Amino acid sequence: DSGVTQTPKHLITATGQRVTLRCSPRSGDLSVYWYQQSLDQGLQFLIQYYNGEERAKGNILERFSAQQFPDLHSELNLSSLELGDSALYFCASSVVAGSVQFFGPGTRLTVL
Partner 1 sequence: AQSVAQPEDQVNVAEGNPLTVKCTYSVSGNPYLFWYVQYPNRGLQFLLKYITGDNLVKGSYGFEAEFNKSQTSFHLKKPSALVSDSALYFCAVRDMQAGGYQKVTFGTGTKLQVIP
Query: What 3-state DSSP class applies to 110?
Result: strand
How far, rounded to the nearest angstrom, does the alpha carbon of residue 100 sit from its chain's CA centroid?
A: 17
**CB of residue 82 vs partner 1: minimum separation in angstroms?**
23
Strand 74-78 to strand 64-68: parallel, antiparallel, or no bridges (unpaired)?
antiparallel
Using CB under 8 A, which of 4, 46, 47, 109 touches partner 1? 4
CB nearer to partner 1: pick between 10 and 62: 10
Which residue from 66, 76, 101, 109 is in contact with partner 1, where contact means CB under 8 A?
101
Smallest distance, partner 1 to C-beta of residue 66, A = 17
Q: Does 110 bind partner 1 (CB under 8 A)?
A: no
CA dist., res. 26 & res. 75, Å (int)? 15
Check binding of 103 to partner 1 (CB under 8 A).
Answer: yes
For partner 1, what does the binding mask look like between residues 31 and 70, x meaning CB under 8 A? Answer: -----------xx-x---------xx--------------
DSSP codes joined into one string, 3-64: S-EEE-SEEEE-TT--EEEEEEPPTT--EEEEEEEETTTEEEEEEEEETTEEEEE-S--TTE
Residues that bind partner 1 (CB under 8 A): 2, 4, 42-43, 45, 55-56, 90, 92, 96-106
